[in-house]
Amino acid sequence: MYSFIVALALTVSALAAQAAPVKPVLHCDRPITLFGGSTVLADGVRARGSTDFATRLRVFVRRVCGKVDGFEVSAHRGGSLLDEVDEVARMLREAPPGIAIVHYPSADIEAGATVEALLAAYRKIAEACVGGGSICIIGGQQPVNQFSREQVGRQLRLEREAVQMHGRAYLPMYRYFESEFGSRNLMLSADSGDGRHIDDVGHELLYKLYLRRLLELNSD
């Protein structure tokens, strides 16, 4: 009798396993686009084009989805979200539903942009994502050694308010960097040497942060 119960349980378990669909780790039917400034996507890496976080993401998508055209980079030379937000929003509205990563981590704050202006830009991007049926991750601020106390204050305020407004669609990178390196500055292990851009270690952290959030949103 006991052996029969065990056999029955194993049979039921096997049938349940067969019936349960395997959920893909990514929406491979959706193109992924990374928007950002060309000066921050790869500056600081020792082997440019192979270790920057954009390339790491591209390789991951190719391996998981089994195709070479699932990830694109839309890099803008200026690196300012406020300069590019209208174009980025237009592309998100007009393109087929996809997944967008928006990475503008410090140039606007450095140029004197207000928290209110950047929150409005985030809102415009979020609305364009909803209108175009896309899933979006808006990257937060990134520590810069050369920033003044006032600039850092704007970065932190922007991040706090953006998290409240956009939830998991916003990635609070400043807090992650601060937690990882134990400082509000880019420590030597993540600084490319100019106090402004990150090196290989920093790009690895960016890759892991964006990938984790990408997988979290995919699971939803």
| 56: region left, alpha or beta (phi > 0 left; psi from -120 to 50 alpha) | alpha
pLDDT of 94 = 93
Per-chain mean pLDDT for the chain: 83
What is the DSSP-derived secondary structure letter of residue 29? T
Token pair 């780790």 is found at 25
Burial of 202 (0-12, 13-18, 19+ CB in 10 A): buried
Token pair listed for 186: 């880019």
Q: Which range, of 105-114, 194-203, 205-214, averages the lowest pLDDT?
A: 194-203
Considering only CA atoms, which of 158, 194, 193 is closest in space to residue 174?
158
Q: What backbone phi and psi angles, to 5 degrees, belong to 71?
A: -140, 130
Using the predicted structure, report yes or no on whether residue 219 has a pLDDT greater than 70. Answer: yes
In angstroms, rounded to a whole number, what is the distance separating the alpha carbons of residues 129 and 95? Answer: 10
Q: Where are the domains of the chain?
A: 30-219
* Span 120-176, pLDDT tens digits: 999 999 999 999 999 999 999 988 888 899 999 999 999 999 999 999 999 999 988
User: What is residue 10's predicted lDDT score, i.e. its pLDDT?
Assistant: 39
Q: Tokens 């391996």 map to which residue?
A: 63
Instruction: Write the DSSP string, 33-69.
Output: EEEEEHHHHSTT-SSTTTSSHHHHHHHHHHHHHS-SS
Half-sphere exposure of 155 (CA within 13 A, CB side): 29
Q: Report the 10 Å Cβ neighbour count for 180.
A: 16
Say if residue 3's pLDDT is above 60: no
The arrangement of secondary structure in 30-219, i.e. its CATH architecture, is: 3-Layer(aba) Sandwich (3.40)
Q: What sign results for the dihedral spanned by CA atoms 203, 99, 158, 128? A: positive
Rounded CA separation 105/69 (Å): 26
Q: Assign residue 195 a region: left if phi > 0, alpha if psi is -120 to 50, beta otherwise?
A: left
The tokens 């030597």 sit on which residue? 188
Q: What is the pLDDT of residues 32-68, one digit of tens each?
A: 999 998 777 777 677 767 788 999 999 999 998 888 7
pLDDT in the model for residue 17? 42
Pairing mode, strands 99-103 and 71-76: unpaired
Name the DSSP class of 169.
Answer: G
Percent above pLDDT 90 for the chain: 50
Q: Which helix (H) or strand (E) holds 170?
A: strand 170-171
> Which of 176, 159, 97, 73 shows the shortest CA–CA distance to 122?
159
